[in-house]
Amino acid sequence: MAMMNAKQYEDSLRKLKLNVYMFGKKVENVVDDPIIRPSMNAVAATYECAHQAEYEDLMTAKSHLTGRKINRFTHIHQSTEDLVKKSKMGRLLGSLTACCFQRCVGMDTLNALSMTTYDIDKKYGTEYNKRFLAFLAYVQEKDLTCDGAMTDPKGDRSKPPHQQADPDLFLHVVEERKDGIVVRGAKCHQTGAVNSHEIIVMPTISLRQDDKDYAICFALPSDAQGITYILGRQSCDTRKLEPGMMDRGNQFYGGHEALVVFDNVFVPWERVFMYKEWDFAGQLVEQFASYHRQSYACKAGVGDVLIGATQCIAEYNGVQGASHVKDKIIEMNHLNETLFCGSLACAAEGHKEPSGTYYVHTLLANVCKQNVTRFPFEIARLAQDVAGGLMVTLPSEQDFRSPEIGKWMEKYYKGNPKVPTEYRMRILRLIENLTLGTAAVGYLTESMHGAGSPQAQRIMIARQVNMDLKKKTAKKLSGIPENE
């Protein structure tokens, strides 16, 4: 099968029988639901761009399994060039959609599994890598979107999985059969879950032997029996139910997250990639997290949009010539490019693992993500500063269209006389969407907590830095004997 385009992707979702709930009710038509639809559009963009000649180099790759051209989101990195292109692809799509386009987590899961399954097999003589490669070939052949499901509810954070009052707070095996296993639990904060064809479950933390029943990794069709999706709320989400489009901010795209519940779900052995190898859980978590921390190049793409919107509103407000406004926009660009530098650096300094997969530089990937936990918030603050208070006091589009009061909005919300009032309102709504509304989930909250909390990166930075070498160099240049 050739790579899907956007229409084929949409059609493929219509064939799924997902069990989805939102606002306490079952969603019968997931694809056309007005709240979910913008997130589907964002994923569809990753398919459509792969067919556009100007983006082909970044959006496609050659499969190391078949030699055929595939969507890069299903590719296993074969060089540092692949890793660099991944970063550039993330920024590109972030700038085209101004939101989370949801496929990075699946791509990062596939690449992490290509390494961890190989290493488990080498130690224990298992056949996980063979199973994984068969699954990968299927994903590439069908051009599927995968949801990487890592984050468990965790319950009492001071206790490991086996000591939880409720064992289901970490997803675990409840039954072993000849033909497979049965699992129960949940995965939280699942980005793009209901837009995915497959869901790949991984452990969420490093584990010890007492927690071996939680050391499981597997893949299932997203509509497998026993899986339920509960959509999360986002700020301003019900604006998508209102007449008109202006108040949405982003007219076309969005994102979503979901709680995914596994209620005694059966997994056949051929779809199991880790089973009680507790000593490899930490490796899988670390490898996935490092890849995913590189993926935050997408925030530089969203930042491009926010900076562009900020420049527009400065011009629409008539303050583009003010020195302090110019300086704030320069600072926004400085911070945004710094984010991108980190993603490119960890890619360019990547290396080949025994499995043949190229892996990012772990220290630099964590530094990249540590910057992402900070800089988008400052970029957003500066955008709000330049935009002014009207961003949050602006009446609705319905007021603007009203035959009775619309004339007053047209008159009193006019800024630069050369710019239509409506354009000013639209840009303000976009800035609101990116910094406070539905897109802020992807741009700000996800920047903070996605791919692990800020403290998780700081722990990894402490582990990866070669402090002994730094001390040795300092002592040498100070004339202190090395053995002191």
Which residues participate in catalysis according to the annotation?
100, 104, 191, 257, 292, 296, 298, 446
User: How many whole angstroms separate alpha carbon 72 and alpha carbon 247?
Assistant: 34
Pairing mode, strands 60-62 and 69-71: antiparallel
Paired tokens of 307: 């900076």
User: How many whole angstroms separate alpha carbon 376 and alpha carbon 60?
Assistant: 28
- CB neighbours of residue 59 within 10 Å: 22
Contacts of 215 (CB under 8 A, 6+ apart): 203, 207, 274, 275, 276, 277, 278, 280, 281
- CB neighbours of residue 80 within 10 Å: 18
Contact 215, 277 (CB under 8 A): yes
Contact 461, 276 (CB under 8 A): no
User: How many whole angstroms separate alpha carbon 88 and alpha carbon 341?
Assistant: 11
Phi-psi category of residue 143: left, alpha or beta, with phi > 0 → left and psi -120 to 50 → alpha: left
Pairing mode, strands 272-275 and 216-221: antiparallel
Provide the residue type at 383 as one letter.
Answer: A
Distances in Å between the Cα of 183 and the Cα atoms of 214, 220, 280 are 10, 12, 19
Paired tokens of 92: 């590109």
Contact 126, 120 (CB under 8 A): yes
Alpha helices (H) in 193-351, listed in sequence order: 281-294, 298-317, 323-348
Nearest to 225 by CA among 182, 169, 165: 182
- CB neighbours of residue 462 within 10 Å: 10
Rounded to an integer, what is the distance from CA 44 to the centroid of its chain?
A: 15
Could you tell me the end-to-end alpha-carbon distance of the chain, in angstroms, rounded to an integer?
65
- 3 state DSSP class of 17: coil
∠ CA 431-435-439, nearest 5°, is: 90
